[in-house]
Amino acid sequence: MTNDLTIDDDWNALYIDGDWVSSEEGESLAVEDPSTREVVAEVPSATEADVDAAYESAVAAQEKWGEQLPAQRQAVIQQLMEAVDEHSDEIVELLTEEVGGTHVMGHTSIHIANDHAGEAATLPRRMKGEHADSNIPGKENLLKRGPKGVVTVISPWNFPLNLSMRAVAPAIAAGNSVVLKPSTNSPITGGLLFGKLFEETDLPDGVLNIVTGRGSEIGDSIASHPESDVVSFTGSTEVGQHVAGLAGENLAVPAMELGGNNAFIVTRDADLDNALDAATFASFVHQGQVCISINRHIVHEDIYDEYVERLTERAEELITGSAHKPDTDVGPIIDESQRDEMLEYVESTIEAGATLETGGEIVNIDDVDDSLVVAPTVLSDVTNEMSAACNEHFGPIAPVIPFSDVDEAVEIANDTEYGLSGAVHADDLAVAKDIAERMETGNVHINDQPINDEAHVPFSGIGASGMGSYNSDAFLHEITETKWISIQHEPRDYSL
């Protein structure tokens, strides 16, 4: 069966045990297009009873699924990739309509999602055990790896497709069942869409279950559900701490990717053209709503003025407006609360002494009441303590901070509780590597920008940016467990 995946489809159903079912109380939530501010769809508002039904289904399906041959589990993930490819244009449009993603964001999401699915398809054949010698004469030690059981996935709204995929696909490939709870702002592309895509595969009923609803109403019951063995969460540090605490009460493994405050260091000898290319992309792509985007530009004082001038020119050249227009570079922020918070950061930073070089205002869109588009913003004369620098602003905002030497640059970069990603531009690779090694963050990219995700390379944050790891064998270890089996091949001396 091939589904027609458009915003006009009926999305007002939960996906439980292979069926599309109504929420127990029949209530729904509106999905608003951030570009037009119009309601474009409705999804269910699940209850705790719906959550219990999803976990009951997941538990019932998991054991048999976990016993499937590696080739069978691999085939399902390969079928999923085929479905994503077949529906790629529709998915890009869904991302535009639900989260205000530009076409660049949409196609990037497809690419990364399929990268994660492709890596996940290799996992069933990589779940290998080990043999360990014993200190006991005549004993053989075997270590076997198997699925944890039920994996809970709580995904975010900013890149809902690929950030759901990076947890859902590996979990299923490794023999687990899944309960997926997408963000309230992206219930379709982060959640219900996966039900329709997996319907085009041979995945047995109950292995994937999807519940939508407000986190304030069902979030705690999902994070703390006693049938959950792993809780994968991507989102803010504050919420992640709460989710991890609830998961821990049931001894579920927490895999948390949380907030970031990523530094982009540009040394005096850096190739400024390349640095500005990277800086423009990683500050303004998807309106800066990326956990690994540039939050602070830390630039050597000798090139600071030129850098600010040229970054301002780049920002003013970007095309702003509706994400539905194919040439739009910077579209809408996801909702009013996010928009207003980031503008407050800008205002507070200016009041503290920073200079507004460009932006800092709402861009009006024809026929749209109260536009969510914020102009690309560059702030100079910024210090690390100012609001737009010390907070994860999550918007198209580029605060630029000067430094005098490498030690000061590293000190500024590390002066945050977060440690998710970062980048450094320098002509001298020895200097760049030294800076990268001293930056206290889980990922650092030399002569590049911090928005990188490759499914075969482990991805993790440190400090307030999370716990646990994603991608490749790193996430495989989160969603599987090892069993020690020993065999005593000859009589053992049990003398007391």
Residue 33 maps to a domain: yes
Query: What pLDDT, on a 0 to 100 scale, did the predictor assign at position 64?
Result: 98
Backbone angles phi and psi of 5, in degrees to 5: -100, 90
CATH of the domain at 176: 3.40.605.10
The pLDDT-based confidence of 26 (bands split at 50, 70, 90) is confident
Same domain, 305 and 220: no
Measured CA to CA, the distance from residue 46 to residue 69 in angstroms comes to: 34
Q: Of the candidates 401, 418, 446, which is a domain's last residue?
A: 446
Residue 313 maps to a domain: yes
Per-residue pLDDT averaged across 461-469, rounded? 96
Same domain, 252 and 269: no
Tell me the C-alpha to C-alpha distance, in Å, between residue 493 and each of 138, 453, 489.
11, 53, 12
Q: For residue 202, which amino acid is it?
A: D
Burial of 130 by CB count in 10 Å (0-12 exposed, 13-18 middle, 19+ buried)?
exposed
Tens of pLDDT, residues 263-303: 999 999 999 999 999 999 999 999 999 999 999 999 999 99
Residue 143 maps to a domain: yes
Same domain, 68 and 132: yes
The structure tokens listed for 448 are 């590049």
Same domain, 115 and 49: yes
Q: For residue 149, which amino acid is it?
A: G
Tell me the average pLDDT of the chain: 97
First to last CA, the chain: 67
In percent, the amount of the chain with pLDDT more than 90 equals 98
Residue 492 maps to a domain: no
Residue 43 CB partners (closer than 8 Å, separation 6+): 11, 12, 28, 29, 31, 187, 188, 192, 212
Tens of pLDDT, residues 67-111: 999 999 999 999 999 999 999 999 999 999 999 999 999 999 999
Measured CA to CA, the distance from residue 368 to residue 372 in angstroms comes to: 9
Same domain, 237 and 291: no
Q: From the centroid of its chain, how far is CA 351?
A: 33
Residue 2 has pLDDT above 80, yes or no: no
Burial of 481 by CB count in 10 Å (0-12 exposed, 13-18 middle, 19+ buried)?
middle
Per-residue pLDDT averaged across 457-481, rounded? 96
Tell me the C-alpha to C-alpha distance, in Å, between residue 17 and each of 14, 116, 189, 208, 333.
10, 24, 20, 7, 35
Residue 354 has pLDDT above 90, yes or no: yes
Measured CA to CA, the distance from residue 103 to residue 118 in angstroms comes to: 22
Tens of pLDDT, residues 173-194: 999 999 999 999 999 999 999 9
Query: What pLDDT, on a 0 to 100 scale, did the predictor assign at position 132?
Result: 94
Per-residue pLDDT averaged across 235-255, rounded? 96
Q: Answer for the pair 399, 288: CB distance below 8 angstroms, yes or no.
A: no
Same domain, 69 and 117: yes
Q: Answer for the pair 328, 338: CB distance below 8 angstroms, yes or no.
A: no
Catalytic residue among 32, 97, 98, 291: 291
Same domain, 355 and 335: yes
Residue 171 has pLDDT above 80, yes or no: yes
Radius of gyration of the chain measured on its C-alpha atoms:
24
Per-residue pLDDT averaged across 351-356, rounded? 98
Task: Determine whether 291 is an active site residue.
Answer: yes
Task: Determine whether 86 is an active site residue.
Answer: no
Burial of 31 by CB count in 10 Å (0-12 exposed, 13-18 middle, 19+ buried)?
buried
Residue 216 maps to a domain: yes
The pLDDT-based confidence of 380 (bands split at 50, 70, 90) is very high
CATH of the domain at 374: 3.40.309.10
Same domain, 57 and 72: yes
Query: What pLDDT, on a 0 to 100 scale, did the predictor assign at position 15?
Result: 98
Q: Answer for the pair 443, 457: CB distance below 8 angstroms, yes or no.
A: no
Measured CA to CA, the distance from residue 487 to residue 157 in angstroms comes to: 49
Measured CA to CA, the distance from residue 236 to residue 466 in angstroms comes to: 9
Same domain, 389 and 471: no
Looking at the whole model, is its pTM more than 0.75?
yes
Query: What pLDDT, on a 0 to 100 scale, did the predictor assign at position 1?
Result: 54
Range of the domain at 329: 262-446
Residue 455 maps to a domain: no
Q: Answer for the pair 358, 315: CB distance below 8 angstroms, yes or no.
A: yes
| Number of compact structural domains in the chain | 2
Q: Answer for the pair 91, 193: CB distance below 8 angstroms, yes or no.
A: yes
Residue 8 has pLDDT above 90, yes or no: yes
Measured CA to CA, the distance from residue 199 to residue 201 in angstroms comes to: 5
Same domain, 181 and 310: no
The pLDDT-based confidence of 24 (bands split at 50, 70, 90) is confident
Catalytic residue among 98, 227, 257, 392: 257
Same domain, 137 and 179: yes
Same domain, 249 and 299: no
Residue 459 maps to a domain: no
The 3-state secondary structure of the chain reads CCCCCCCCCCCCCEEECCEEECCCCCCEEEEECCCCCCEEEEEECCCHHHHHHHHHHHHHHHHHHHCCCHHHHHHHHHHHHHHHHHCHHHHHHHHHHHHCCCHHHHHHHHHHHHHHHHHHHHHHHCCCCEEEECCCCCEEEEEEEEECCEEEEECCCCCHHHHHHHHHHHHHHCCCEEEEECCCCCCHHHHHHHHHHHCCCCCCCCCEEECCCCHHHHHHHHHCCCCCCEEEEECCHHHHHHHHHHHHHCCCEEEEECCCCEEEEECCCCCHHHHHHHHHHHHHHHHHCCCCCEEEEEEECCCHHHHHHHHHHHHHHCCECCCCCCCCCECECCCHHHHHHHHHHHHHHHHCCCEEEECCCEECCCCCCCCCEECCEEEECCCCCCHHHHCCCCCCEEEEEEECCHHHHHHHHHCCCEECCEEEECCCHHHHHHHHHHCCCCCCEECCCCCCCCCCCCECCEECCEECCECHHHHHHHHEEEEEEEEECCCCCCCC
**CB-CB neighbours of 140 under 10 Å:** 14
Q: Dihedral angle at the C-alpha atoms of 135, 139, 140, 144, nearest 10 degrees?
A: -90
Residue 88 maps to a domain: yes
Measured CA to CA, the distance from residue 162 to residue 112 in angstroms comes to: 6
